[in-house]
Structure 1
């Protein structure tokens, strides 16, 4: 059996019918039907058929799906135009009005908005619990619970949800489990190992890796991928041919990039923890993280995501110091998103200020002094030096 790095390069190559070493961009909305009516019917009705109509499938999309299904240890996968398209389409394939979802407080803001502004008005009940409390998930289950939705590590507070517990709970209760694996990537964590049913990603992040595309991915067994595909045909969030090609290119270096990012983040987190201007460092690779032992059990690497609390005399002063730090940094760009080759830093309370109430931010662990860092592949000496000069006047 081929190793992970080999699969990233060669899995799904049979979807490239040309002699080109690099899979070409299939910039076509539709494909010739030929003279065989039976073949045309097959193309029109088969899930993810790569050469019928772009909303149904694309040869490059099929190649990406083969790679990611192999990485996530699932039977199949499906790609979308954005991570939110992957998340929303998957959930809408599972629940209907009157159903109930158990989820956690700390979630990506787009997912939180989807629950609050779409699913609840749509008639779906949502119960949010503390993700570090296993028994809270069990206690929240109702007779009509159809889905347990989790995100681990969570955005932006980097708390962990116990995948083995959630996978076993879902199997015990006959409830589907879905995990957003964006922050970890399949290099660091494979939720299917713990019995989770469906894995979603914003492929805009680590999977693409170059901040030049938007995409989403769902990985699951064949039955659920076909179900989600049928819903996607109606909703229409197809990944464009060019973004598909960019994503395939990015996947080839995924393992190399993530391993370098893991090393950089570990060293930067260890350095930050010793700095007097920083009140707290949240990084799952640090022994000081309250769930470090869980991280060691369910992840192979500790990701490139760090959150820090900047010191201040009070909350407003911490906010001012956080802004000073952002403005003083030269290599860390103040920009949304994460998981690219370049290092980024954002102020979550500002970025999501209009999305969350004060109570929601508190429940998610978002403070005015918090900064979220996405570590890139630059040399670690330069990254530390950048923080060193930026913290001198705090």
Structure 2
């Protein structure tokens, strides 16, 4: 089954009881049992809900996984994955990581003595050098947020296997339409499903897919114990979004490439971050492990003052956090998505005050380019 067909027909996509071609929304908390402890497979919706289960089978199918899990947010998904580990364990993490992930690791998870080290995972030798005796996992984003760095998934899998570590991949930017980390050797893949998978800025959710029955059992125990589950209405919205994921990803990438071409020739743009560029340091790796370069890009206009002026003048790019929706979004990471990272650390990573991040939507490309042109020139 090819990718676009899998988006429509993968997993559980209909209701066998009624013939409905869309999975019903089971807005229910508890289920009648035939006798004490004898039920039809569902007893309480924190443990399992038919609508959520349908979504979980779909994401497992799309990621070629053993099992899938749906959480109340991307951060709930990441937190639950981190609960697989024990006090005293150590995680090697991508340095250019989403600000919420940084906040979680440095201000919450660290209180449970789960240690971590940030490294530039686009350099395999730096990852291996950061591994300690108590290291249990490697956590990477590729492409990263917001600098679009690329990490070689096969090399990370080799390192993880060599040192008996779990490899966890945040696949939010690429989505399962462009990239399947489990096929390249990862153990766990996760998404902020609020982004591309939902695709319409109307749901907050997180998804996880795992490659073994043991991991599935352990993560289900955590999900049920913690209770950070996704509700049936939001599960249904994600399934609806998945059906058009392939079409949206292709349209967004087409628009993004044309915007990159425009920005390359503009005097007010000092640097562009997009893995589709031939001179991007991770271009060849990205081309080898993903079917597309995506709809995210960042560019630097030189200062925070100039960035603010650009944001003030755009009309079709909505100033907002999040990404991956049908409408184009614009943001300044230093003031928004990555504000929780100390400024010195941001500058060390290359997240300058003049860095602007675009999530390109599916509007008419001529309107988007005219909008950026007017904003940059004014």
TM-score range, shorter chain: over 0.9
Q: Taking structure 1 as reference, are residues 14 and 377 closer, same or farther at Cα in structure 2, changes over 3 Å only?
A: closer
> For 1:217, which of 204, 207, 217 is the aligned residue?
207
| Structure 2 equivalent of residue 29 of structure 1 | 29
Please give the secondary structure, in 2, of the residue aligned with 1:13. Answer: coil
The whole-number CA distance in structure 2 between the counterparts of 1:38 and 1:121 is 38
| Structure 1 equivalent of residue 228 of structure 2 | 237
> For 1:136, which of 101, 126, 146 is the aligned residue?
126
> For 1:182, which of 172, 177, 193 is the aligned residue?
172
| Structure 2 equivalent of residue 315 of structure 1 | none
| Structure 2 equivalent of residue 314 of structure 1 | none
> For 1:335, which of 316, 320, 325 is the aligned residue?
320
Listed as ranges, the gaps of 5+ residues in structure 1 are 44-48, 312-317
- TM-aligned CA deviation for residue 206 of structure 1: 0.4
Q: Taking structure 1 as reference, are residues 103 and 63 closer, same or farther at Cα in structure 2, changes over 3 Å only?
A: same
> For 2:306, which of 295, 310, 321 is the aligned residue?
321
- TM-aligned CA deviation for residue 15 of structure 1: 6.7
- TM-aligned CA deviation for residue 14 of structure 1: 6.9
**Is residue 2:374 matched to residue 1:389?**
yes
> For 1:377, which of 362, 368, 372 is the aligned residue?
362
Larger CA deviation: 18-27 vs 82-91: 18-27
| Structure 2 equivalent of residue 7 of structure 1 | 6
| Structure 1 equivalent of residue 47 of structure 2 | 56
Listed as ranges, the gaps of 5+ residues in structure 2 are none
- TM-aligned CA deviation for residue 353 of structure 1: 6.1
Q: Taking structure 1 as reference, are residues 176 and 295 closer, same or farther at Cα in structure 2, changes over 3 Å only?
A: same
- TM-aligned CA deviation for residue 34 of structure 1: 2.0
| Structure 2 equivalent of residue 295 of structure 1 | 286
CA deviation profile, 1:78-98 (whole Å, cap 9, x unmatched):
1111001111101111x1111
| Structure 1 equivalent of residue 181 of structure 2 | 191
- Runs of 4+ with deviation above 6 angstroms: none
- TM-aligned CA deviation for residue 301 of structure 1: 0.4
Contact 1:96 1:124 in 2 (8 A): yes
**Is residue 2:113 matched to residue 1:123?**
yes
- TM-aligned CA deviation for residue 64 of structure 1: 1.4
Larger CA deviation: 107-116 vs 58-67: 58-67
| Structure 1 equivalent of residue 152 of structure 2 | 162
| Structure 1 equivalent of residue 258 of structure 2 | 267
> For 2:350, which of 338, 353, 365 is the aligned residue?
365
Larger CA deviation: 121-130 vs 178-187: 121-130
- TM-aligned CA deviation for residue 288 of structure 1: 2.4
CA deviation profile, 1:93-142 (whole Å, cap 9, x unmatched):
1x111111111211111111111012222111211112221101101111
- TM-aligned CA deviation for residue 18 of structure 1: 2.7
CA deviation profile, 1:284-327 (whole Å, cap 9, x unmatched):
1111212111111111100100000013xxxxxx2111111111
Please give the secondary structure, in 2, of the residue aligned with 1:86. Answer: helix
The whole-number CA distance in structure 2 between the counterparts of 1:267 and 1:288 is 16
Q: Please give the TM-score of this superposition, normalised by the length of structure 1.
A: 0.92
**Is residue 2:99 matched to residue 1:100?**
no
Contact 1:60 1:248 in 2 (8 A): no
1:61-100 pair list within 5 angstroms: 61-93=52-84, 95-100=85-90
Larger CA deviation: 185-194 vs 198-207: 185-194
Contact 2:272 2:300 in 1 (8 A): yes
Please give the secondary structure, in 1, of the residue aligned with 2:127. Answer: helix
The whole-number CA distance in structure 1 between the counterparts of 2:204 and 2:6 is 23
The whole-number CA distance in structure 2 between the counterparts of 1:386 and 1:139 is 45
The whole-number CA distance in structure 1 between the counterparts of 2:97 and 2:83 is 18
Aligned Cα root-mean-square deviation (Å): 1.5
- TM-aligned CA deviation for residue 201 of structure 1: 0.3
Please give the secondary structure, in 2, of the residue aligned with 1:39. Answer: coil
Please give the secondary structure, in 2, of the residue aligned with 1:160. Answer: coil
